[in-house]
Amino acid sequence: GVVFAALVGSVTLIPGFIAFPTASLLIQAGAGLMQIGAFISTLMMVGIITMPVEIKYFGKKMTIYRNLMAFLFSFFVAYVIGKVVG
Protein backbone atom coordinates (compact mmCIF):
# COMPACT_ATOMS: atom_id res chain seq x y z
CA GLY A 1 0.00 0.00 0.00
CA VAL A 2 2.78 2.42 0.85
CA VAL A 3 4.61 1.72 -2.41
CA PHE A 4 1.42 2.20 -4.44
CA ALA A 5 0.65 5.46 -2.62
CA ALA A 6 4.20 6.69 -3.30
CA LEU A 7 3.93 5.80 -6.99
CA VAL A 8 0.59 7.57 -7.34
CA GLY A 9 1.95 10.64 -5.53
CA SER A 10 4.99 10.70 -7.82
CA VAL A 11 2.95 11.02 -11.00
CA THR A 12 0.16 13.23 -9.66
CA LEU A 13 0.26 17.00 -10.01
CA ILE A 14 -1.97 18.52 -7.31
CA PRO A 15 -1.29 21.77 -5.41
CA GLY A 16 -0.86 21.54 -1.65
CA PHE A 17 -3.98 23.52 -0.82
CA ILE A 18 -6.01 20.74 -2.46
CA ALA A 19 -3.82 17.79 -1.47
CA PHE A 20 -3.84 18.34 2.30
CA PRO A 21 -7.63 18.59 2.71
CA THR A 22 -7.98 15.58 0.40
CA ALA A 23 -5.54 13.65 2.61
CA SER A 24 -7.64 14.58 5.63
CA LEU A 25 -10.76 13.23 3.94
CA LEU A 26 -8.94 10.01 3.03
CA ILE A 27 -7.81 9.53 6.63
CA GLN A 28 -11.35 10.10 7.87
CA ALA A 29 -12.51 7.48 5.38
CA GLY A 30 -10.07 4.95 6.82
CA ALA A 31 -6.87 5.33 4.80
CA GLY A 32 -3.66 4.42 6.60
CA LEU A 33 -1.40 7.13 7.95
CA MET A 34 1.72 5.60 6.40
CA GLN A 35 0.08 5.50 2.99
CA ILE A 36 -1.05 9.11 3.25
CA GLY A 37 2.41 10.13 4.45
CA ALA A 38 4.05 8.49 1.44
CA PHE A 39 1.46 9.95 -0.92
CA ILE A 40 1.79 13.52 0.34
CA SER A 41 5.59 13.32 0.54
CA THR A 42 5.99 12.15 -3.03
CA LEU A 43 3.27 14.50 -4.21
CA MET A 44 5.20 17.49 -2.88
CA MET A 45 8.78 16.33 -3.53
CA VAL A 46 8.83 14.07 -6.60
CA GLY A 47 8.02 15.53 -10.00
CA ILE A 48 7.69 12.93 -12.73
CA ILE A 49 5.31 15.15 -14.70
CA THR A 50 7.57 18.19 -14.36
CA MET A 51 10.80 16.33 -15.18
CA PRO A 52 11.25 17.84 -18.67
CA VAL A 53 11.35 21.37 -17.24
CA GLU A 54 13.63 20.34 -14.40
CA ILE A 55 15.99 18.57 -16.82
CA LYS A 56 16.18 21.75 -18.88
CA TYR A 57 17.43 23.76 -15.88
CA PHE A 58 19.34 21.23 -13.76
CA GLY A 59 20.36 18.53 -16.23
CA LYS A 60 19.23 14.94 -16.57
CA LYS A 61 21.59 13.41 -14.00
CA MET A 62 20.73 15.89 -11.24
CA THR A 63 17.01 15.65 -11.94
CA ILE A 64 16.98 11.87 -11.74
CA TYR A 65 19.14 11.90 -8.62
CA ARG A 66 16.93 14.47 -6.85
CA ASN A 67 13.72 12.66 -7.71
CA LEU A 68 15.14 9.29 -6.68
CA MET A 69 16.35 10.65 -3.33
CA ALA A 70 13.00 12.36 -2.72
CA PHE A 71 11.16 9.13 -3.59
CA LEU A 72 13.28 7.09 -1.17
CA PHE A 73 12.98 9.76 1.54
CA SER A 74 9.19 9.49 1.31
CA PHE A 75 9.42 5.95 2.68
CA PHE A 76 11.38 7.24 5.65
CA VAL A 77 8.68 9.88 6.19
CA ALA A 78 5.95 7.22 6.00
CA TYR A 79 7.82 5.01 8.50
CA VAL A 80 8.27 7.88 10.99
CA ILE A 81 4.61 8.88 10.68
CA GLY A 82 3.61 5.27 11.26
CA LYS A 83 5.74 5.02 14.40
CA VAL A 84 5.09 8.45 15.91
CA VAL A 85 1.41 9.01 15.07
CA GLY A 86 0.16 5.47 14.55
Say what the pTM is. 0.88
Give tens-digit pLDDT for 51-75.
999 999 999 999 999 999 999 999 9
Q: Which residues of 50-60 are buried (b: 16+ CB within 10 A; e: fewer)?
A: eeeebeeeeee
Q: What is the pLDDT of residues 1-21, one digit of tens each?
A: 999 999 999 999 999 999 999
What is d(CA 28, CA 12) in angstroms, rounded to the nearest whole number?
21
pLDDT at 86 over 90: no
